[in-house]
Chain A
Amino acid sequence: MYAVNYHRAASVTEAAKLAKSGDAKLLSGGMTLIPAMKTRLAAPSDLVDLSRIKELQGVKVSGKAVTIGAAATHFDVANDEKLRKACPALAHLASLIGDPAVRHKGTIGGSIANNDPAADYPAALLALGATIITNKREISADKFFKGLFETALKDGEIITAVSFTAPAKAAYEKFRNPASRYAIVGVFVAKGKDGVSVAVTGAGDDGVFRSKEIEAALAKSFDAASLEGVKVPAKNLMSDMHASADYRANLIAVMAKRAVAAANA
């Protein structure tokens, strides 16, 4: 790691101000940034730590309305009693991220700001039609996630929370990369008042996406049987040493089927 100036921000306003210093980077759980710095692949001049800012903490559930502070850890999300009742699929997803150490440090804001194409949260937020709230504006999930490690965030823009309406039914199924345990394919299915939404992470060569084929099949009947024989095209899917595009296409259908079964269970 190269030498770096560390700042602990007390408020979002202060963080935004500090973020203007040098070649600063915002630090939340640091689950991606710190390893990149340790291997000297990232070399920010300054780190602005958001993780202790009070206004970014906590999970709030009011009826069907859910708001999760950007600095809420995966552990917070996985174990919030109200959320586990309102949207158990998202709590379950958080419980599947990394290992206990990662879940106690990593945050939802950090994860979606990084938009790793194999991260779990982007699939959930896209399928849930969530809103990403920043210190400047509100952005809908489908506008927020833009390709690999790209988001709609502008320089100095800080995510403060995400919000969504809990769906009637939802589930997340993840097939892990055997080495990294990130998703090779993760499928989040949600059935809400606007219909069925299915988002896929880990597989798209341009990041998280919604599967039209799966959504179309489930629109007729939200049932695992509806997905029998449904083929997901391998086009635009990633192919690497861990999984071919064909294999990922197969896994999308299989994980979707299992997710629907879990959502209906």
Chain B
Amino acid sequence: MIWFQLQSLVGSYPLALRGLGMTVALSGISLVLGTILGFALGVLRTSGSRLLSSAIGLWVDLIRGTPFLVQIFLIFFILPELGVELDAFTAGIIALTNLAACFICEIVAAGIRSVPTGQVEAALASGLSKWQRMRQVVLPQAMRVSLPPLVGQYVLLIKDSSVVSAIGLTDLTRVGWLVVQRVPNGLLVFAIVGIGYFIVCYPLILLARRLERRMSAAHGEVQL
């Protein structure tokens, strides 16, 4: 019985590879887009007009306050009603990018706020333009604070990408769901799915911890 199941599992490895590819593509694309958008939003959140800042804050709250599954359903089922034709993959990318951008926006904004005002004043006094100030003084220092949670956020993004299986995208989780219909051994099938995610996520978690340790050491904190 177990032999038969293992054979059947080995037979579905092309499907598993496709699923892994889909997961990597989804998270990779939305990771890059979300980072760019998140940085832009984070900068606007701290240095834009007050109206713009609270508008971004409200949007971030709306996204952080609702389940990602509901956001995917909203995008996938409602955008077509508004006349935007989109397939499941595009909907998944939009939802994941938006989610990543909102969380990264807050991480970047917190990093920017952590830069002492003296630094900004010194940059002003040196006659740096607004853009120079941001790029050469504030952001490099903000990045030190933002980098560990940013990497942690990427792990969350990869894990959240599993939710897009709900709109029928054949990612790693969906492949597990499909395989388990033929090979009725949920423990085995989803253990393998879990290992797939673990291989991608665990190195990132270790990297985030390493960055955290380095940062707290640089700030003279005692590591317990």
Chains A and B are bound partners: no
* Residues of B near any A CB (own CB < 8 A): none
Binding site for B on A (CB under 8 A): none
